Amino acid sequence: MDIFSFVTMVGGLAMFLYGMEIMGDGLKKSSGETLRRILQTLTKNTFTGVLTGMLVTGIIQASSATIVLTVGLMVAGLLTLRQTASIVMGANIGTTVTGQIIRLMDLEANGNAIINLFKPSTLAPLALIAGVVLLMFSKRLGKKGIAEIMVGFGVLFSGLLIMTEAVSPLAESEFFLTVITKLSVMPLLGIISGIVITVIVQSSSAVVGMLQALSSTGVLTFDLIYPLIMGINIGTCIVTAVLCSIDSSRDAKRVAVIHILFNCIGTVIFMAAMTALNRMGLFGSLWGKTVNSGDIANFQTLFNLITAALLMPFTDALVKASEILIRHDAAEQERAQEAGLLDKKLLVSPGLAMAEAGAALSKMGRLALENLRMSMKQLSSYEPSVSAVISDREDRLDNFADRSDHFLISLAHLLVTDEHSAHMNLLMQAVPDFERIGDYATNIDELAQRLNNSKVCLSERARKELEILCEAVDEIVTITVDAFTRDDNEAAMQVEPLEEVIDDMVVTLRDSHTERLRCGVCTVNAGLVFIEVLTYMERAADQCSSIALLMLARDNEEIRGNHHAYLRNLHSQGNEFYCAELERRREQYLSRLKCS
């Protein structure tokens, strides 16, 4: 092989890798919306988890993407480590689909027009033509995804054909034949070579594709390729699993360990079995048999299938081993779950990233609700240790808000549908709303601290009134967070009537407090704190109203862009549900307030 043939081979490899990337991107665009649902619902036991990993990897044509997405879901708390382990096993099988597609190179037309149509030399240009036409004339995201799949398929096979042609002189190269001979009698060296080459190329499918292209020279034998393929499997888990766990949680690192253990154990089992069979003289004709691209694809698939079948019953043992090697840290685990909710690895699938952004904001709402509850209790019984917890949680909320903004801005550039844009508007505006609820909780805690430090107490009547208001505010924030989490518009409709009642309660409490000040029942210092608490609680309810209104506006064009007009009409005329709910809430809270 001269320098020009080498450059041609590398160029073909570059086209192969680029074709895989284009095809994978197109497949993810076409199926990204369903990946989250598939991964979450079909991993209830090890067998279905393996099938799911195999299915998803077969769809997106990249085990690395499947594992990265799975790690993101696991760190977010949506999958367990055991579920993730089964998906990793399946991903190893699914990645062999590329090799099975490449075996089309072995087709011989023999004058048959139908078979000739499926030969790569015919299929590649046809796929490129169809894909480019679709890209030029289609505006819909779904069709563009299909177009990218076709273009990627065409580029992949074009690169493969170029590689095949470039390596053909190797069949007559004495140096190449010498290397092949040494590797065939030294399986361990073959495994190491497979690992090194895969780590360099960073794609097991590409390395297997190179082997399949080399098989056209007629010099590759079975005793050479089987250790290489096992090394390729170890190499890809080092590249994919370890890289995806860098700067991530401990559970992500455990996935890396499981992936490495899976392939290493499979290699040890196969090497022992192959060595035993060879020494016993069994399948004598197999070892020196010249292999084609189909044989290479079949062995890779069988290796991963058999390894998965053998290790599936020992999934718990693999998980346990990973937990021993990477030990738990409770505090880190909690923060890692929060970090995983906005893991930018999820941006490889916009539909999945959109869903996870919603889950992150739900977590943010829960943190704000917990802080609000704790701060309201501080008004009646102040504890410095509780203030420290509130402060720490507020820092987490602020961090969530900053990361959410950056994550959503990155995600916004990837969205093209109106439905996605409307939901994105809800998410981006909900971030400051949840953050402000957390801020108001901190403000209330600071007021409680001021009361405690100044040794000033609220009057008995003021405390009872605040208890009723706190109950109402707690309920409106709870309803809002639950509605947002479940994406429940019916629950969101309950927010505005309750917010209106809270406004009325605040007016009533201000009037009664003014009367207490006039009569000298309450001190001025305590009175100032009381008024500020009312203000922050009212504002927290206002943020809930904003979030609920955004949810309703997302699915109703009449409300979208006309929020104020909608609210004016609702407050002045109302509808049957609003009026009934308003009356119920008045009875529940205002009547109690007047009787307190």
Which one of 303, 331, 359 terminates a domain? 331
Dist. CA 173–CA 183, nearest whole Å: 16
Q: Are residues 381 and 235 in the same domain?
A: no
pLDDT of amino acid 387: 92
Say if residue 272 is exposed, middle or buried (CB neighbours under 10 Å; 0-12, 13-18, 19+). exposed
DSSP-assigned letters across all residues of 11-39: HHHHHHHHHHHHHHHHHHHHHHHHHHHHH
Q: Are residues 362 and 442 in the same domain?
A: yes
Q: Are residues 443 and 315 in the same domain?
A: no
In a domain, 152, yes or no: yes
In a domain, 203, yes or no: yes
Per-residue pLDDT tens listing for the chain (596 residues): 577 777 887 887 788 777 767 766 665 665 555 555 666 666 667 888 888 888 877 766 667 667 766 776 676 556 778 888 898 899 888 888 877 777 665 555 444 555 555 566 777 788 888 888 887 877 665 567 778 878 887 887 787 678 767 766 665 666 665 666 666 568 888 888 888 877 776 677 777 877 887 787 787 888 888 888 898 888 877 766 565 555 456 777 888 888 889 999 999 999 898 888 878 877 767 777 888 888 888 898 999 999 999 999 999 899 889 888 887 665 556 665 666 677 777 777 777 788 888 888 998 999 999 999 999 999 888 999 999 989 988 988 888 888 888 888 888 887 766 677 778 888 999 999 999 999 999 999 999 999 888 887 888 888 899 999 999 999 999 999 999 999 999 999 999 999 999 999 999 999 888 888 888 777 888 888 899 999 999 999 999 999 999 998 888 877 877 777 888 888 887 788 989 999 999 999 988 877 66
pLDDT of amino acid 31: 53
In a domain, 336, yes or no: no
**CB-CB neighbours of 594 under 10 Å:** 9
Q: Are residues 486 and 362 in the same domain?
A: yes
Q: Are residues 290 and 216 in the same domain?
A: yes
pLDDT of amino acid 471: 94
In a domain, 527, yes or no: yes
* Domain encompassing residue 589: 341-595
263 has which bridge partners? none
Which one of 331, 351, 373 terminates a domain? 331
Q: What is the pTM of this model?
A: 0.52
pLDDT of amino acid 59: 65
pLDDT of amino acid 504: 93
Specify the CATH number for the domain of residue 348.
1.20.58.220
In a domain, 227, yes or no: yes
pLDDT of amino acid 14: 81
Q: Are residues 310 and 439 in the same domain?
A: no
**CA distances to 480, 554, 559, 573 from 568, in Å:** 21, 19, 12, 8
In a domain, 154, yes or no: yes
Contact 382, 452 (CB under 8 A): yes
In a domain, 529, yes or no: yes
Q: Are residues 165 and 196 in the same domain?
A: yes
The DSSP element (H or E) to which 318 belongs, if any, is helix 315-325
Q: Are residues 327 and 382 in the same domain?
A: no
Residues 6+ apart with CB under 8 A from 251: 71, 74, 75, 81, 84, 333, 336
Give the chain's domain count: 2
In a domain, 217, yes or no: yes
Residue type (1 letter), 476: I
Tokens 């924030």: give the residue: 477
Q: What are phi and psi of 150, to 5 degrees?
A: -70, -40
Q: Are residues 293 and 427 in the same domain?
A: no
Q: Are residues 376 and 525 in the same domain?
A: yes
Q: Are residues 345 and 198 in the same domain?
A: no
Q: Are residues 240 and 379 in the same domain?
A: no
pLDDT of amino acid 469: 94
Which one of 331, 358, 390 terminates a domain? 331
